[in-house]
Amino acid sequence: MIKIQSFTNAGFGENTYILSDDSKKCIIIDPGCYQPEEEIRLSDYINEHKLKVEKVVNTHCHIDHVLGNFYCKKTFDVPVYIPVNEKEVHKAVQVYAPNYGFPKYQHQEPDFFLKNEGKLLFGNSELDILYVPGHSPGHLVFYSASQHFCINGDVLFRESIGRTDLPGGNHEQLIESIHEVMFALPEETIVYCGHGPETSIGHEKRYNPWCKVM
Ligand SMILES: [Zn+2]
């Protein structure tokens, strides 16, 4: 049984997710921590629940989702995985981080690249890897069919969608990804977003002004 804990980081209101299971192993998805108190909050949760971190994973590599990769690698001594098609997006972060107001950003080279398909494994658990480009060229979503949820990064938001005006963004591609991949998931699937509250596939099919189908 996977437990999901979220943490919202101040700068961009980005949500970090820690997924853990009965084995006490966990993964950290999109660590956007930057301020010391945000880093400590993450570590405290892991220590208090006696979790062992297996890996750090990014849904995509915009700055707000990778700010804490360096801290997590250094603190927990675990491999960092980024989507294979996000290499260029990730490289660019170190160039623009100071201009975005993050002069202390420390670049963390990834240890491994996630393919655009297959499984993401940790503890006794597995998630399906879904490829949903558009918000960024290599964006991945991690889906649990058995527990009816997905960690969706910046693809869908509650009654909104990810922006596509950043380098590598493509609005038509994002809409296509939502219709072809996200809306193929069962309606009861809970969608955990990179910003803002969670939603469901059924809710977005009905009420999302960008892509509703009902
Ligand atoms: Zn993003």
20 CA distance to ligand 1 middle (Å) = 24
Pick from 163, 164, 157: nearest CA to 191: 157
Ligand 1 centroid, distance to 136 Cα (angstroms): 7
d(CA 88, CA 90): 5
Distance 65 CA to ligand 1 centre (A): 7
Residue 62 Cα to ligand 1 midpoint, Å, equals: 5
Q: Give residue 83 CA to ligand 1 midpoint distance, Å.
A: 13
Looking at residues 36-58, what average pLDDT do you find? Answer: 98
User: Using an 8 Å Cβ cutoff, are 9 and 31 in contact?
Assistant: no
Q: 129 CA distance to ligand 1 centroid (A)?
A: 17
Distances (CA, A) of 46 to 8, 160, 194: 16, 31, 20
- For residue 50, the CA-to-ligand 1 centroid distance in Å is 30
Report the 10 Å Cβ neighbour count for 170. Answer: 15
Is the pTM higher than 0.75? The answer reads yes
pLDDT in tens, 64-107: 999 999 999 999 999 999 999 999 999 999 999 999 999 999 99
Q: How far is CA 76 from each of CA 26, 52, 70, 136, 164, rounded to the nearest angstrom?
A: 11, 8, 10, 28, 33
Residue 166 pLDDT grade (very low, low, confident, very high; cuts 50, 70, 90): confident
Question: What integer pLDDT is reported at residue 167 of this predicted model?
Answer: 82
| CA triple 161-146-194, angle to 5 deg | 25
C-alpha–C-alpha distance, residues 31 and 183, integer Å: 26
Could you report the per-residue pLDDT of 114-149, keeping only the tens digit for each? Answer: 999 999 999 999 999 999 999 999 999 999 999 999
CA distance 150 to 46: 21
Would the pLDDT of 168 be above 90?
no
130: CA distance to ligand 1 center in Å?
A: 16
Portion of the chain with pLDDT greater than 90, in percent: 97
Residue 212, pLDDT > 90, answer no
CA angle 182/120/26 to nearest 5° reads: 110
8 Cα–ligand 1 center, Å: 14
pLDDT band for position 12 (50/70/90)? very high
d(CA 94, CA 141): 24
- Say how many Å lie between the CA of residue 166 and the centre of ligand 1: 9
For each of the domains in the chain, give its residue range(s) and CATH number, in order of start. 3-207 (3.60.15.10)
